[in-house]
Amino acid sequence: MRSVYQWVKRLWYGIGLSVALVTLGGCVTTGRDMRSEDRTIPVTVRVDFGPAGKPAQEAQLQVNPGSTPKDVVSLIYPVQSGAACCDSREVAAIDGVRVDPAQNRWWKCRLNGSTKVGPFRTVLKSGDRVEWTYFEQSQ
Amino acid sequence: MDLFRTVAVVGCLAFSWAAPAWAGEVRGVVRLDGPVPAPKVVTVEPKKAGDSLDACGDHARVSQRLVVDPSGGVQYGVVWLQAVPQDGQVVEEIAASNDVAVLDQQRCEFVPHVMVMQPGTSLVIRNSDPVRHNVRIFQDGMMLMHRWQQAKSDEIEWRFEQGGRYLVRCGIHPWMHAWVVVVDHRYSAVTNADGSFSIPEVPDGQYVLQVWHETLGEREEAIRVGVDGEDVTVRFAQGGGSE
């Protein structure tokens, strides 16, 4: 009788230990998910509306790895895509301010001061500074 | 019988097309009221810093967007007729065109600056420059065509199938642009340096004379064309621009 009691007791300990391990595992998994959020990178984005007359905006953002300059500006303004030059993925409008070929007004993107950037291709790094500028060229 | 009828109809059409006794000329001028604006000098700068523009010439470049002569005549206005329905019929001739028009690139300018043509006309884009260009065609802000054109290379041919206003630009030389206006018939013209225009052989009738200019916008005048034609002056006010 005593041995049966010991056996049931061990069974309950086993079940309790299993439940504890499963619970702990779940917590560890949740912890991993939270750390993936921590893996976002800091970038700065500035949007200058130039001749469109809207006030410029600058923001410091935490963005997901793999983000592009176009992704980043999309976080703070509605962006429309369209072929201003060569590809339908180009930025055609930011916050309703469209490229205007007749007025010779365009959106230009700079990354850390350089225009050698693919607005929808270049993957941003931590600390990058993205500048979107609406400008008008002489004609 | 059907054949006879067809021949008769075609014969009548051919006769009326060749020598319409009722045709008159619409003559006129497009003017800008008020003081004549000073020519605007274009700031020429390369798209990429450091690129040479020597091949484009070192001449002063005056904007073609608003060219006004001392009398107020406006160059590069596009003028065309829109027919008014008469007796239930619209006197408007839709002509399929097999014509070819040439838009050249000379010293990093499109020549001519403004063209008018009919649907179906092929636009031949030529590069007479010793430098490459990047030809783009836009309509309503949307790009329809984009091609590189090397120095003095083969011509690019583009056919406009529908009426409308089309903007041609060079993607390398930002100041270079031209307008192609496609009108559904031959009753159209581009104003000369003194603002004058002439649309010959217009059938007798009532029309709306439409005018479009790239910086001044649009105007229209109702006119009546008889056998002696019609003289018309279209006036734009200062500061009434569009686009």
Task: Give residue A105's domain range.
Answer: 41-136
A45 and A112 co-located in one domain: yes
pLDDT in tens, B114-155: 999 999 899 999 999 999 999 999 998 889 999 999 998 889
The B residues from 57 to 96 touching A (CB cutoff 8 Å) are 63, 65
A25 and A51 co-located in one domain: no
**Burial annotation A23-33 (CB, 10 A radius, 16+ → b, else e):** eeeeeeeeeee
The phi and psi torsions of B64 (rounded to 5 degrees) equal: -95, 5
Chain A hits for B56, CB-CB cut-off 8 Å, are none
> How many pairs of residues across A and B have Cβ atoms under 8 Å apart?
47
A24 and A54 co-located in one domain: no
User: What's the CATH number where A83 sits?
Assistant: 2.170.130.30
Are A101 and B45 a contacting pair at CB < 8 A?
Answer: no
A68 and A93 co-located in one domain: yes
- For residue A135, the chain B residue with the least C-alpha distance is B174
Q: Which of A16-25, A108-117, B49-58 has the lowest mean pLDDT?
A: A16-25
Of B44, B48, B142, the CB nearest to A82: B142
Of A83, A92, A101, the CB nearest to B169: A101
Are B136 and A85 a contacting pair at CB < 8 A?
Answer: yes
B235 DSSP β-pair partners: B31
| pTM of the predicted structure, to 2 decimals | 0.79
What the block records as the tokens of A48 is 């200058």
Are B65 and A83 a contacting pair at CB < 8 A?
Answer: no
A99 touches chain B (CB under 8 A): yes
Q: How confident is the model at residue B58 (pLDDT cuts 50, 70, 90)?
A: confident
A52 and A119 co-located in one domain: yes
* For testing contact with chain A, the best of B142, B167, B180, B214 (most A CBs within 10 A): B142
Q: Is the dihedral of CA B232, B237, B240, B243 positive or negative?
A: positive
Q: Which structural domains are found in chain B, ordered by start?
A: 23-236 (2.60.40.420)
The total of structural domains in chain A comes to 2
A137 touches chain B (CB under 8 A): yes
Q: For B223-229, which contacts have Cβ atoms below 8 Å and span 24 or more sequence positions?
A: B223/B26, B225/B24, B225/B26, B226/B24, B227/B21, B227/B22, B227/B23, B227/B24, B228/B24, B229/B24, B229/B25, B229/B26, B229/B27, B229/B202
A32 and A46 co-located in one domain: no
**Strand ranges for chain B from DSSP E:** 24-32, 78-83, 85-86, 89-90, 100-106, 109-111, 114-117, 122-127, 133-139, 142-149, 156-159, 164-170, 177-182, 188-190, 196-202, 205-213, 217-225, 230-236
Find where tokens 């790094």 sit: A125
pLDDT in tens, B184-243: 888 999 999 999 999 998 988 889 999 999 999 999 999 999 888 889 999 999 876 544
Are B143 and A104 a contacting pair at CB < 8 A?
Answer: no
A2 and A69 co-located in one domain: no
